[in-house]
Amino acid sequence: MDSGPLTLTTAVTRLRQGTLTSRTLTEDLLREAERHAGLGAFITLDHERALSAARAADRTPGTGLLHGVPIVVKDNIHVAGLPNTAGTPALAGFVPDADAPVVGRLRSAGAFVIGKTGMHELSFGATSAGSASGPVRNAHEPGCFAGGSSGGTAVAVAYGALAGLGTDTGGSVRIPAALNGVCGLRPTPGRYPAGAVTPLSSTRDVVGPIARTVADIGLLDAVLAGTDTGLAVMVPHRLRLGVPGGYFTRWLGAETAEAFQGALDRLRAHGVTLVDVQLPDFEAVEREIGFPITLYEARRELTAYLARYVPSTSLADLADRIIDPAVRRAFIDMVVQGAPRAIAEEHYQAALTNGRAWLRASYHDAFHTHGIDALVFPTTPRCAAALGDAAGLVDVGGEPLPAFEAFIRNTGPGSLAGLPGLTVPIPRASGGLPVGLALDGWVLTDRSLLAVGAQVQKLLAS
């Protein structure tokens, strides 16, 4: 595939016009995947079936929105006939016989799956450095990690794939999209059909699309949510974006701080209204609300998942074979039945009800008091760090923080509140690593958020 920025929307237009064939597109992508194999973006490449689907698409008239488009899918989302390892040894032999509903919607629109992408083991990390298939490396600097847990999809899109699916529990779509310079959406929970995904938390898990532009995300979202494809055209001087201080900008890497300030300056110069928004200190949100929900539900959801799809494997068996030391320790200590630090029922219920109610009320006040279209802040507090730092501390504005804590810091609160969240790339300084600009919208305003994001991406590029 050439180095030009072929986007999903451009490819769809060219496929319909007949100036591009699905076979050519698919062959080019397979070559790029093989050329970049060292990045670890793919766990499984489905050469034969992908090329067969491409040839079939070229022989038949296009009827679906994505006719003839090859898509990549994270390796915890079921694709019929392809292994679904979720990056962990105990699931290496599991091959689903049916697609997840989200994959079914893509197929109904004319797309087909070219391969399954690498991820952090069991989606339980923010770097994609820990996995049975090996680390996923950053598309712009192979010595750095890709971000996670949907790192493989983000890397594949960054170097050539048109679009793909990841999953997002506390930031797992948006973090790797930001660190690799592409776009990613966490939709409002419930907008896409659920099921047939290796789970962590039924409260927090969603499937989300990753692509090169917000317009591409908008097309995927329309297919996945069954909505109209059009996005409203936002006029810059009517845009009101809330800029939260404190927690979201307390510690930022130097490159991220500079890029974020530059993005705000550029948006303001184009007439966008930026409003200072005060949110509560979210410092304890993940510890007191997020982790109790996720860890409690992981035991329940994974136990039911294994019983349904891999009945020969128990949760204890799964945990005993986990590769990543931090993930294994978390499962043994807090997730498996009888774990010494398992989350108590009352702690879980308090987090699920009182904690989330407080969090959502805080966001509701911010949106409705200030009349803002979206909150805007750095997607991650710093750029991608070296692979060697993935299991330890990373420097964030002079403050050493655990990598997991650092990279989910800004994306976690909105995901807990059930908000839709989008990340768009900020133009990079020469030689710098990608920085993402996060846009959080109010509940079920996903299409409006995408319209805002499309305008913001356009203004940042101008």
Residue 362 tokens read as: 């805080």
Residue 131 catalytic?
no
Residue 123 catalytic?
no
Sheet of strand 374-378, all strands in order from the earlier edge strand to the far edge? 42-45, 112-117, 70-74, 163-168, 206-211, 183-186, 421-426, 435-440, 374-378, 240-244, 273-277
Q: Give the span between the Cα atoms of 116 and 250, in whole angstroms.
A: 37
Determine the 3-state secondary structure of 448 from DSSP: helix
Determine the 3-state secondary structure of 33 from DSSP: helix
Which are the contacts of 149, defined by CB distance < 8 A and separation ≥ 6? Answer: 119, 120, 123, 124, 125, 126, 128, 166, 167, 169, 172, 176
DSSP summary character for residue 67: T
Q: Give the span between the Cα atoms of 44 and 206, in whole angstroms.
A: 22
Could you list the beta-strand ranges (E) of 280-387.
374-378
Could you list the beta-strand ranges (E) of 296-419.
374-378, 393-396, 399-402
Tokens 């192979």, located at residue = 142
The CA angle 355-348-335, to the nearest 5 degrees, is: 135
Point out the catalytic residue in the list 149, 150, 201, 415.
Answer: 149
Point out the catalytic residue in the list 22, 74, 123, 150.
Answer: 74
Residue 74 catalytic?
yes
Determine the 3-state secondary structure of 57 from DSSP: helix
Q: In sequence order, which ranges of 120-275 are alpha helices (DSSP H)?
A: 151-159, 174-179, 214-225, 254-269
Point out the catalytic residue in the list 22, 150, 172, 415.
Answer: 172
Q: Give the CA distances from residue 447 to residues 122, 185, 228, 293, 415, in Å, rounded to whole numbers and listed in that order.
A: 30, 11, 9, 28, 17
Judge whether 394 and 388 are in contact, CB under 8 Å.
Answer: no
Question: Which residues are identified as catalytic?
Answer: 74, 149, 172
